[in-house]
Amino acid sequence: MDVFWTLPPVSRTIIAAAFVESLLVHGGLISPLKVLFHIPWIFKIFPEVWRLITPFLLTGGGLDFVFDLYFLYKYGSELERDSPRFTVPGDFFTYVIFVGSVITLSAGVLLQSMVFTPALIIAFMYTYGQVNTGRKASFIVIQIPVELLPWANIVLIMLMRGWGQAQTAACGVVAAHLYEFLTRIYPTYGRGRNFISTPVIVKRWFGAHRSTQTYRSYGTSYQPADRAARQAGPGSASASGSSWFSGNSWSGRGAGRRLG
């Protein structure tokens, strides 16, 4: 349990919810019909809005139950804890909401799939590969470039479960690449604006107004907000708050020194 509580909050919640839901479904305690994505059951007089979330939390049965939970744990927690893409509290939550929305529209609405867990795992793998470009990853018994990991898993899904399941999983690549394009590729190389930013209310929800949080494999470190402000120092304040030609531009220069 200590390992579980050291996980970052979003990944921890996803893993716990997937474990409980899948255990209830595969254990026969609830019907899978209660959690699958089906548009007519969502938009009706008494809408079953939970179906917008539960399709992302249903793992496969048998060994897939273990592997799906492991992949959610490995790639989700490593992205949330150590990825340079998610440095502000709440960034990973925004990422999950965005890729989940794209997967719902592509896999659920267009392909009429009912379970999105494989697509979410593939999205995590894709983003993990983009962050760790150049590294190697284990796939079955071989080592492959980490960028190829989602594609290798899509091929494996196609061989074991069919083309339809592979198409659903590929929607994870679409969602994760769209996030990558809108937040990094277009702003960096196209000199455009970043169209996806974490709302202030989400940042505050994850404690941005209280401290700067850094999740590590051994736990969580916290940096108080006032310390971050002090570390910025007066130099940063003068750079952003006053111009070189402002009335106070020479007031903080210190005593002069005569040359020669």
- The yes-or-no verdict on residue 240 having pLDDT over 80 is no
In the chain, how many domains are there? 1
Instruction: Answer whether residue 245 is part of any domain.
Output: no
Domain span holding position 98? 2-205
Query: How many contiguous H segments (helices) and E segments (strands) does the chain have?
Result: 12, 4
Q: What is the pLDDT of residues 198-230, one digit of tens each?
A: 889 999 988 866 554 555 544 555 454 444 444
Lowest mean pLDDT among 35-49, 129-143, 242-256: 242-256
Helix (H) or strand (E) holding 211: strand 211-216
Helix (H) or strand (E) holding 215: strand 211-216
Instruction: Answer whether residue 144 is part of any domain.
Output: yes
Instruction: Answer whether residue 79 is part of any domain.
Output: yes
Instruction: Answer whether residue 148 is part of any domain.
Output: yes
Phi, psi of 3 (to 5 degrees): -65, -40
Instruction: Answer whether residue 250 is part of any domain.
Output: no
Q: What is the pLDDT of residues 39-73, one digit of tens each?
A: 999 988 889 999 999 999 999 999 999 999 999 99
Instruction: Answer whether residue 237 is part of any domain.
Output: no
Residues in contact with 41: Cβ distance below 8 Å, sequence separation at least 6, in sequence order: 48, 51
Can you give the pTM of this predicted structure? 0.79
CB burial class (10 A; 0-12, 13-18, 19+) of residue 245? exposed
Phi, psi of 177 (to 5 degrees): -70, -35
Q: Does residue 202 or residue 254 have the better pLDDT?
A: 202
CB burial class (10 A; 0-12, 13-18, 19+) of residue 104? buried
DSSP, collapsed to helix, strand or coil, labels residue 139 as strand
Residues in contact with 179: Cβ distance below 8 Å, sequence separation at least 6, in sequence order: 95, 98, 99, 102, 127, 196
Strand partners, 142: 139
> Residue 83 and residue 121: Cα distance in Å, rounded?
16
Q: What share of the chain is helix, strand, coil (3-state, %, to 5)?
A: 60, 10, 30
Instruction: Answer whether residue 233 is part of any domain.
Output: no
234: which 2 tokens?
Answer: 């007066």
CATH of the domain at 106: 1.20.1540.10
Q: Are 98 and 179 in contact (CB under 8 A)?
A: yes
Instruction: Answer whether residue 235 is part of any domain.
Output: no
> Residue 116 and residue 129: Cα distance in Å, rounded?
20
